Amino acid sequence: AQFQRLWAGYDPTARRSPISAESINSAGPACDVALLQLENNEGLAESLPVAPQEVLDKIGPTYPVGYVGYPMEGLAIGGVNPKSPTPTRHLAYISSVTDYFGDANVDSAQRLLVQHALPATGGASGSPIINRDGQVVAVLNAGNVIGITPRGRIGSSANIAFAQRADLVRELLDGSSIRKQVPRLARWKQDLAKNFKPRDVVEVEIKGVRDRIANNTIADWKDTQSGSGDYTVKFETLVDRVLEAKPTAKTDVKLATAGPCFLMAYDASGESPVFVRVVEKDKDKEQTINGSPTNFRWARFLTFDGHSGADVAINVTSDADEAKIAMKLFHAARTRVPPKDRLEKLLEDWKKQIITLPALTVSTEIASESSGTLPEPLSAGQPAVSKIELTLKEAGDYFLFVSTAGDDKIAVVAARRDGVRLVQLVSDQRGNPTAYGSFKVPAGSEMVIFVLGLQKDVPYDLKLYRAVLK
């Protein structure tokens, strides 16, 4: 219990990168031994002897050992017939003898954690581990697991399990355990402070890093909301606080207006995975959105198109029993820039790029313009596509602009015929209400322009400009 309390006060981690670390679990409880006193030992064999101290001091890697026990967890026929129990016997070897932090370069009195290759599962704990002379050198108490299923724990393929060296049994038998535990506890405190940082210090350091990553991610999302200039955007912070998840927490929000929303939740104090689910109720409709994993196991985010007046329930769950979850929810109120204004700005930028000599001036003239409506897609899951064919008599620089009146997403691909081939010149498939691009062609070029959308009956306008140099 003393060891577990000390361990909980620190944050044992292995740094995987400057911004991420993986938690290190203890090898089970330290000094994990106990004595069971029997009222009647009639019919029992004589006790196995605890190995002498000089033997315990020398055990190490490849030392042959065996155990007799009753493993049961997840085994066929229950592992053990309780009416006529038959013990399981295994032979293997010790892989290392270390302190409780995995260090073998310490004095023998601290090397009380025995790591071995004997199989371990529920029911095997407490089994005596003996040497070839029948002396008890350790007591099996734990194993490495990589996961838990409804049928039990999944062991690690590393084939390393743990045991407590038999010194600890002798201490209980001769009554010296309390006296010897005093210097041992002091040594644990020193080793923890040497190897790891206190949890409260790490939480402060981690929070700063996590907050920077979160703020950068949020800034990237905000940058995309203008649609590269198709919208003016006003952002609103709906949630920005730390929740205590034990292991689940919930918060509710009401959306005043429609618009894209971005939610990010992350473990502000550790490395535990976080899971997020949003349920948006809009009148009689309901949609559920689950958070997508990020490059960081401790963070999740999701985006959704919020509806005016909708009630949003946010549920966050941590893999840990308790966690501090930082939650940030933003709403973007977007106003469409009129296509005419958007086109004027793009044309001005394009003309500046064309000028190669200070004495030149550039004007534009319409080379082609048309309007249309996207047809029915050819098959389910495919885009709706309109095809426009035209011939450009004049050589030079051209600017293509396609727009919709509303918020429908549209794309454009323009290509020039070269014999039987189509040479692509423009491709704008970002999925905004406008799509555009520039290209240069020789005189008499035969062009094919494809206008694409997600659904039929979306009206669009197409304008093609030619640059005139003076």
Identify the three-state secondary structure at position 92.
Answer: strand
201: Cβ–Cβ under 8 A, 6 or more apart, which residues?
11
382: left (phi over 0), alpha (psi -120 to 50) or beta: beta
Three-state DSSP at 152 gives strand
User: pLDDT tens track of the chain, all 470 residues?
Assistant: 899 888 888 867 666 665 556 667 788 889 999 999 889 988 888 889 999 999 999 999 999 999 998 888 877 877 888 888 888 899 999 999 999 998 999 999 999 999 999 988 888 899 999 999 999 999 999 988 777 766 667 777 778 999 999 999 999 999 999 999 999 999 999 998 888 888 777 767 777 777 888 888 899 999 999 988 999 999 999 999 999 999 999 999 999 998 999 999 988 877 788 999 999 998 878 889 988 877 777 889 999 999 999 999 999 999 888 888 999 999 999 999 999 999 999 999 999 888 766 667 889 999 999 999 999 988 888 899 999 999 999 999 999 999 999 889 999 999 999 999 999 999 999 989 999 999 999 999 999 999 999 889 999 999 999 999 88
Helix (H, G, I), strand (E, B) or coil at 135: coil
C-alpha span between 182 and 47 (Å, rounded):
29
CB under 8 Å to 74, separation ≥6 — which residues? 121, 122, 151, 152, 153
Query: 289, 13 in Cβ contact below 8 A?
Result: no
Helix or strand run (H / E) with residue 178: helix 177-195
CB neighbours (10 Å) of residue 337?
18
Who contacts 311 (Cβ-Cβ below 8 Å, separation ≥6)?
Answer: 252, 253, 254, 255, 280, 281, 282
Which residue from 21, 25, 20 is spatially nearest to 7, judged by alpha carbons?
Answer: 25
What is the distance between the alpha carbons of residues 67 and 156, in angstroms, rounded to a whole number? 20
| pTM score, whole prediction | 0.56
Rounded distance, CA 85 to CA 427, Å?
74
